[in-house]
Amino acid sequence: MAYISNLQHYLDSNGSFPVDMPGPARELATFLGMVVTAATSAKDVAGLQTTVPCRMRHTAGCAGTLRAGFLVPEDSIQWTCPVCGDEGFISGWQGTAWDKASPSGE
């Protein structure tokens, strides 16, 4: 099962995580932000090996680190754990604080 996420769904009108966001939602949003930062920091690399730990580390004991890359035409970032196969797609990341390829993310 792949997780399909739009980062905009986790942001308030200021482009930040809301203060009153429930813990599990904040954890997922933080994870998605880390993936976006890793992928956009090295935008020219497809299938980049990141230092982002697998999100299944705490629940299933996975020791993997994620690979991330862009789907053409760069509308989404695809991430996958090569160890356990957890994977997903992130849209709505452009121009956020985690987008290191954009002037607004620096």
Q: What is the total count of domains within the chain?
A: 1
Domain coverage including residue 88: 2-105
What is the pTM (predicted TM-score) of this model?
A: 0.86
- Residue 46: which residues within 8 A CB-CB, separation 6 or more? 69, 70
Q: What is the pLDDT of residues 17-74, one digit of tens each?
A: 999 999 999 999 999 999 999 998 876 666 788 999 998 876 678 999 999 988 766 6
Contact 7, 96 (CB under 8 A): yes
Amino acid sitting at position 37:
T
Give every strand in the sheet of 65-71, ordered side by side: 2-6, 87-91, 76-80, 65-71, 48-53
